[in-house]
Chains A and B, each alone.
Chain A
Amino acid sequence: MQTLWFILVALMLTAYVVLDGFDLGAGALHLFVARNDQERRMLLRAIGPVWDGNEVWLLAAGGTLFYAFPLLYASSFSGFYLPLNMVLWLLVFRAIGIEFRLHLDSRVWRDFFDAVFSLASLLLIVLFGAAFGNVMRGVPLGPDHYFFVSLWTNFLPGPQPGALDWYTVLAAVVCVVALSLHGALYVILKTEGPLNTRLRDLVQWLWPALIVLTIASLIATVFVRRQLLDNYRADPVGWIIPVAVIAALIGIFYFNRARQERNAFLASCLYLIAMLCGAAFALYPALLPASGDPANSITLQNASAGASSLSIGLVWWSIGMAIAVAYFILVYSMFKGKVAASETGH
């Protein structure tokens, strides 16, 4: 039952990364690749109808994590107090950036909110990437399973690391490149014209960078936390995951070149899913490893809610998820197809 909830929460977080990932990535690129007001409108229209729903996955996953693994929620949210509060501020900036932008037909107003939206998206990706790095590296958990990390200490992933060290910064850079690529592929899928062409060229630049960074991050991960290979040694079926990563990377390159826009985006989805599965597979049964004494790690066994909560939760969670998926199908099918340039005018 606990393992099942581990999978369910991991699924929700994966859905969040894959879905909100593309609108975060598109947001980060927004200021730099969309060159005039019309292109910016086009980019925003591509993600406009769906970004809010995508972000709900974060809230739903957060709530479910709170319910199924109260200790993990309590410890990690308070331990990452400073970076997490910054995430919250950035979520506010990003939402008002995209939603308030077109309320006023003024160049100054629009440019201001374009910058707010784009920079907030970029910084969110950085923080999410660093958070991911922190989970892989481990945090200085005490015997009571609580911790508190500063934003940075000496930038070394030792037993008393900060939220930012060279390893988590590397994770942040991987995340920026991976989600920018992901966002670019989504916008390519939704647009035509110069914006589409420019983004396709950008993908051909981002792709080799992502390959180098993926390899570097995997080596660094093994270097920082050797135990993360244990599950792969114990159960070689896990090696299917790196194979999927490689296949996805090849797919992105090939499909983008062949102008198979949907397949290229799906390949990018596969890349993100495979990377996250790889991490979850490596961590299991730990949820948040300790950088010091492994006995302090937060695991499935010590973090789960009571058995009665977990079995009752399964019923409403399944029903709710089925309905949520139906909404997503409805919304994505209502807004399917490309955003035409003519739709973006006044």
Chain B
Amino acid sequence: MNDALFIHRIHFAFTITYHYIFPQLTMGLAPLIVVLKTLALKTRNPDYDTAARFWIKIFGINFVAGVVTGIPMEFQFGTNWSRFSQLTGGVIAQPLAMEGVFSFFLESAFLGLLLFGEKRLGRIGHWWAGFMVFFGTWLSGFFIVVADAWMQHPVAYNRLPDGSFEVASFWGILGNPWGLIQYAHVMTGALTTGAFAMAATGAFYLLSNRSTAYGRIFVRVGVIAGVIATVLQIFPTGDLHGRYMASHQPVATAGMEALFHTQAGAPIVLFGQPNVERQTIDNPLAVNDVLSFLIYGTTAAEVKGLDDFPTDVWPTNVPLLYFAYHVMAGLGTLFVAIMLIAAFLLLRGALFQTQWMLWVLLLAVPFPFIANMAGWFTAEVGRQPWLVYGLVRTANGYSSNVSAANGLFTLLGFMGLYALLSIFYLFLIQRQIDAGPEAQHSETTFGPVTGSA
């Protein structure tokens, strides 16, 4: 791997990983805000309005961070991956341009109304503004997933004489089965993050014995949404995604499990470190037959190992792929357990007094973020060594006219800038939580400038 290629890969990996801290929370909180606004309309209990206002504030800060770290992504295809962009722009830019045209305009129009139009719009109008923002963020997610899905599983294209691609079917691109499955999986992941964030905030208030009325609302909404999201995360979305991947990218599946040798009754490895040199797993803790069962539904099925494929199509970093996948799957399983126990306690009416469970909910909050990122790592590291699976290699896609030093220069620039952004972000979120929902009793005119009401 030459230097420039390595830097361009790290450049994209760093900026996209950092970016994805924010949109997963944006997409996860948006439907929960709609839930709070709906409860406010139905029950006429003003606490729900206040609770919604509190989360809309946090949503607004998070949204800004998502937008400013997202803009560089749209340009980075051109700046760092020019050869790839030239070949695939006629296809992959369709969802990207559609995101700008259909989602960003919508979000920018309705976010201002959601943040500052409550008085002007009235209760129903404000609910609609919330719903439109929710719709916009989920639409945005769809276009991005569809763009990625085409790289994972290229469909509905023609190849032109110069090697570039064009769209053969509009609905073929948008209806890519890989994309639909991945979308369901990604969105339940985002909802998991939103649910944990809300539940943890509520748990914090209950444990601090302040804002307890709101703390209960947050925990209740967070846990109910969390049960739904974490279960759907594994079944059916994760299960479908895993099987679809096994049939279309079997070498990636083998890499995820670090299954070096084809075997019947393949085991699932719960713990261990892949040893690529010796083609084995160190310190293994494995359960026989489970992998075969998960993929094919029977314990005796043969699962293809890496040795069935030429090494030049092996995922380029098997250990990273293996760890990413295991972190994702392990945390995903843990989330189901946490949310099921919390929901059980909630049903019994004991959750708000059960200190240890509130502590678990509070301390769990970073992990959905990690699990979501690990999921993306699994998909994208598993796709290597390809940019467009089976068609365009990563080594042929980067901007060969941009030197490693220039790439490093801007990578360091982004790192510094994002470190600064993190400080402001955490500071502002902490202030919102510290001020508490009570600070939002009446619709305040104080706040960012996006509004003149």
Contacts and interface: CB of A to CB of B under 8 A. Distances in A.
A73 B424 CA distance: 33
Instruction: Identify the interface centre among B72, B98, B105, B164: most chain A CB within 10 Å of its CB.
Output: B105
A52 B85 CA distance: 26
B89 to A, nearest CB: 3
A310 B302 CA distance: 45
A84 B409 CA distance: 13
Contacts of A335: 451-452
Given A81-B406, A96-B424, A101-B448, A306 B90 contact: yes
B445 A77 contact: no
A95 B74 CA distance: 17
Contact of B85 (A66, A328, A330, A339): A66
Instruction: Identify the interface centre among B75, B85, B104, B452: most chain A CB within 10 Å of its CB.
Output: B452
A41 interface: yes
B380 interface: no
B445 A78 contact: no
Nearest to A66: B93
B396 to A, nearest CB: 13
A173 interface: no
Contact of B105 (A53, A99, A306): A53
Contacts of A78: 78-80, 82, 399, 401-402
A103 B98 CA distance: 32
A96 B78 contact: no
A53 B100 CA distance: 11
A307 B160 CA distance: 10
Interface in B142-193: 158, 160, 164-170
Contact of B446 (A88, A95, A309, A346): A346
Instruction: Identify the interface centre among B82, B168, B428, B449: most chain A CB within 10 Å of its CB.
Output: B449
Contacts of B413: 85, 89
A308 B158 contact: yes
Interface residues of B, number: 77
Contact of A67 (B94, B104, B164, B168): B94
Interface in B69-89: 69, 71-72, 74-75, 77-80, 82-89
B164 A306 contact: yes
A320 interface: yes
A75 to B, nearest CB: 7
B97 interface: yes
B424 A82 contact: no
A52 B401 contact: no
A94 to B, nearest CB: 9
Contacts of B77: 66, 73, 77
Contacts of A84: 75, 79
Contact of B68 (A82, A91, A313, A330): A91
B210 interface: no
Contact of B104 (A56, A305, A328): A56
A98 B448 contact: yes
A59 interface: yes
B49 interface: no
B334 interface: no
Given A53-B105, A103-B431, A66 B89 contact: yes
B109 A330 contact: yes
Contacts of A307: 166
B105 A309 contact: no
B285 interface: no
Interface stretch (B21-29, B33-41, B110-118, B338-346): B110-118
B449 A41 contact: yes
Contact of B100 (A52, A60, A99): A60
Contacts of B71: 59, 88, 91-92
A118 B97 CA distance: 29
Nearest to B87: A70
A146 B449 contact: no
B120 interface: yes
Interface string A313-346: 1011100110110011011001100010001011
Nearest to B120: A334
B410 interface: yes
A44 interface: yes
B64 A95 contact: yes
A242 interface: no
B450 interface: yes
B360 interface: no
A75 B78 CA distance: 7
Contacts of A70: 85-90, 93, 164
A147 B401 CA distance: 7
Contact of B78 (A60, A74, A308): A74
Given A60-B104, A309-B94, A98 B449 contact: yes
Contacts of B75: 62, 77, 84, 88
B257 interface: no
Instruction: Identify the interface centre among B75, B87, B111, B424: most chain A CB within 10 Å of its CB.
Output: B75
A155 B176 CA distance: 50
B421 interface: yes
Contact of B445 (A47, A306, A346): A346
B289 interface: no
B449 A62 contact: no
A223 interface: no
A315 B170 contact: yes
A331 B109 contact: yes
Interface in B298-324: none
A5 B196 CA distance: 45
Instruction: Identify the interface centre among A45, A78, A105, A313: most chain B CB within 10 Å of its CB.
Output: A78
A100 interface: yes
Interface string A39-73: 00100110111001101100110111011011101
B402 A81 contact: yes
B101 interface: yes
A339 B452 contact: yes
Contacts of B109: 53, 327-328, 330-331
A67 B450 contact: no
Given A66-B93, A91-B68, A308-B168, A324 B446 contact: no
Given A67-B97, A324-B101, 16 more contacts: A41-B449, A49-B112, A53-B108, A62-B100, A63-B74, A66-B77, A75-B86, A77-B75, A81-B79, A81-B399, A82-B410, A96-B68, A96-B421, A99-B60, A147-B401, A320-B98
15 contacts: A44-B449, A49-B112, A55-B108, A63-B99, A64-B93, A64-B100, A74-B86, A81-B410, A82-B406, A91-B68, A308-B166, A312-B170, A320-B102, A328-B109, A334-B117
Interface of A: 41, 44-45, 47-49, 52-53, 55-56, 59-60, 62-64, 66-67, 69-71, 73-79, 81-82, 84-85, 88-89, 91-93, 95-96, 98-105, 146-148, 305-309, 312-313, 315-317, 320-321, 323-324, 327-328, 330-331, 334-335, 339, 343, 345-346
- 10 tightest A-B CB contacts, nearest first: A70-B89, A77-B78, A306-B166, A63-B97, A305-B90, A48-B449, A320-B101, A67-B93, A60-B100, A66-B93
